Amino acid sequence: MLLGVLGAIAGSFLATIAVRWPQERSVLRGRSACDGCARTLRARDLVPLLSWAVARGRCRACGTRIDARHPGIEAGCAAIGVASALAAPGPAGMAGAVFGWLLLTLAVMDARDFWLPDALTLALGLGGVASSLIAPPEPTDRLIGGVAGFALLWLVAAGYRAWRGAEGMGGGDPKLFGGIGLWLGWRMLPPVLLVAGLVGLGWTLWRRWRGEAVARDDMMPLGTLMAIAAYPAWLVMVRHGP
């Protein structure tokens, strides 16, 4: 499907953002190059997924393994594009795909670097406002969702800071939840938070089952958990209503 192809192409750029931005490397300047030997990549090296498969996941020149985030995000964006087109053909599906692509990028960055860039969370929020022109829920529900999502996690973070005298939540998490609210509306926020919590609990239990040491103060990428929960919530919403 067209959105699947577009997703793979968008994923190639978004993967570059996820890999380079936390390293303070330019995303827009200069030509694409190998992260290992800095060899300038040719067009044949930049075909989403196919180039990685043909090269067996390594640079053709130096043999350095290509960061798994590149094919992972490309494949994820392609799958999101197909799922969005099937759930809501037309402009609404395109909007949902953009929602999913941004969420995937933010999820990967938070999981790896515990960072939710303001520029991406702002883009997510603005996309939610713009998509109200072509898809449900109503703009009022979205606005309430945006304010409520941000305010809820901001208050939780402020309360924890006052109680424990330390930061318990990153500053990007309230912004991300507010952006999610601008896409899904306020009614979908409790299910998203519930599913995010269950996914986090499941991950913690999995780590304990594998014998890993788990402490109460271990950092958990809340943004990743919310992003994992938010896109399926959009799929449910467009198929069955908010």
The phi, psi pair for 58, rounded to 5°, reads: -135, 155
pLDDT level of residue 161 (50, 70, 90 thresholds): confident
| Helices marked H in 172-240 | 172-184, 189-209, 222-240
Taking CA atoms, 127 is separated from 49, 84, 162, in Å, by 27, 15, 33
Query: Is 106 within a domain?
Result: no
Q: Phi-psi category of 55—alpha, beta or left, where left has phi over 0 and alpha has psi -120 to 50?
A: alpha
Q: Which residues contact 28 (CB under 8 A, 6 or more apart)?
A: none
pTM of the model: 0.94
pLDDT level of residue 17 (50, 70, 90 thresholds): very high
Query: Is 27 within a domain?
Result: no
Query: Is 114 within a domain?
Result: no
Query: Is 62 within a domain?
Result: no
For 157, the domain range is 128-242
Query: Is 68 within a domain?
Result: no
Query: Is 156 within a domain?
Result: yes
Query: Is 57 within a domain?
Result: no
Query: Is 196 within a domain?
Result: yes
Number of domains composing the chain: 1
**What are 27-41's pLDDT values in tens digits?**
766 667 777 777 777
**What are 89-127's pLDDT values in tens digits?**
899 999 999 999 999 999 999 999 999 999 999 999 999
Of 201 and 44, which is predicted with more confidence?
201
